[in-house]
Each structure stands twice: as structure tokens, then as C-alpha cells.
Amino acid sequence: MIIRSLAQVTAQMNVLQKKQENSAANVANVNTPGYKFQVLLQETQKEYEVHNHTGGRDNNAYQVLGSLSLGTQLGEAYTNFTPGTLTQTGLATDFAIQGKGFFPVALEDNTLGFTRSGSFRTDAEGYLVTPEGYRVLGVDPQGNWQSISTGGNPLVLTAEGQILGTALRLAAVDVADYTQLTLEGGSLFAGETAVIPGEGEILQGYLEGSNVNLLDEMVKMMEVSREFQANQRTLKVLNDTLSKTVNEIGRN
């Protein structure tokens, strides 16, 4: 019984540590443009049947005593895609999406990435890139993705999203299943899911802020800290009880 309780408390402390790390990561990205906060869910571990062979007339029959779970574990992690507040910056390479959608970017393995952060810049070759250096993609008249080159000229976007001086259009895209997206770091996502047209309007000279609520995250961290301390006290009591039991058995 004591061993089971120790396992349950230890498992819960491991879960609490991960939840604290997750909240800390959310707080660290409170000023990251387009960042979407992460939520970790916990679940009960698989239950196992407990039995012995003391049943029956001769105390040798299979007897089910019940079930046993060794505590909790981390379940799924999901991203909250609630939009952040838009702030006007006036910079030609800053963009924000008002409504649903993502900016498409080309990842290292030539797969499609998605971001809500429009804090772009031009690289040494004149291409529009994300802060991580991934090229932002525009769509040509044939519907193909193309890297956006400014050609050393100022970046000007029309109301329809057309990039002046090029045949490309900067368009928001969306995905059919948000649960298939995985966080690649910061505000960048990737995933094998169908790409559909985005409904959002692209605004030049604006940035979308993080959707992290600093107060909520601080409260979560305090709650986790208190729960962790409570589990530490429980762990000490169980450890003292186990030590006393072992010593008593040793004397007898």
C-alpha cells in the first residue's frame, strides 16, 4: 500500500514539473508576436487488475480484488489559437492577419510551415523571411507557392494582397485540422493536414501580439507550486512510515 502511494505521488510530481515548465515557456513568450499558448492535460494512468489465488474452497482459485492505477500522467498537449491583440508598427515588413489563417513559410525540408507571426525581414538575398530565416511564401497567378523577393525595393502590399513589382500575392492560408499541427518553436507550426484558403485579412504595418494572459499563467504557476509542496510533504510522510515499518520488521 505504501509503495503504491509512493509511486502515485512521484508520478503526480513529475506531471506538476512538466506543467510548471509549460507555464514558464508561455510566460517567456508573452512578448513573442503571434505566439499561441500551450496547455497540458493530465490523465489517470492505465488501471491494472489486482488478483490473487486465495479464493475457492481450497484457497487456490483465481480471485479478482479490484483494479489499481499508479497515478496520473501527461495526456495530450494542445495549442489555444485565440487571436492576440493587433498593434500598429508602421514597418513595411510587419504583417498581421485579422481573422483566421496563417502565413505560409518554406521549412528546411521543403515542407509547408505556418505562422501567425508577421514580424518579417529581408535577408541578404532580398527574400522576405521569418525571424528564424524561413522564407515567406506568396502565391503566383497559377496558384503555385513562390518565395517573395523584394528585389531591393520597398515592400508594398495592395488591398487585395498583391505585392507591387511582382506577380505574387501574399495570402493567408488555413488548415483543415488544427489538432494535426505541431509546434516547431516560437510561433511556427507544421503538420500533415489539408491546406485551405484563409478567411483573414492581411494588414501591413501591424503585428499580432501573443495571446498569453500573464496573470492567468502566474496563477497556474502558484497553484502548481503549492500542489508540489503538498506532494513533497506527503512523500516525506510515506517515506518516514516506510522507514519505520522496515525498522520494526528488522527488530522483530
64 or 200: which carries more pLDDT confidence? 200
For residue 138, the cross-strand partners are 146
- Cβ atoms of residues 53 and 174 within 8 Å: no
- Cβ atoms of residues 101 and 172 within 8 Å: yes
- Cβ atoms of residues 115 and 130 within 8 Å: yes
pLDDT at 77: 82
67 or 76: which carries more pLDDT confidence? 76
* Annotated domain spans of the chain: 2-80+212-251, 86-208
Among 3, 13, 7, 11, residue whose Cα is nearest residue 227: 13
C-alpha cell at 157: 502590399
Mean pLDDT for 46-59 is 70
Taking 80 as the threshold, does the pLDDT of residue 245 lie above it?
A: no
pLDDT at 51: 65
* DSSP 8-state secondary structure symbol assigned to residue 163: B
Taking 80 as the threshold, does the pLDDT of residue 231 lie above it?
A: no
pLDDT at 236: 73
* DSSP 8-state secondary structure symbol assigned to residue 45: P
Taking 60 as the threshold, does the pLDDT of residue 143 lie above it?
A: yes
Confidence of residue 23 (pLDDT cuts 50, 70, 90): very high
Lowest mean pLDDT among 24-33, 218-227, 229-238: 229-238
Mean pLDDT across the chain, nearest whole number?
84
Confidence of residue 252 (pLDDT cuts 50, 70, 90): low
Confidence of residue 40 (pLDDT cuts 50, 70, 90): confident
Mean pLDDT for 137-160 is 87
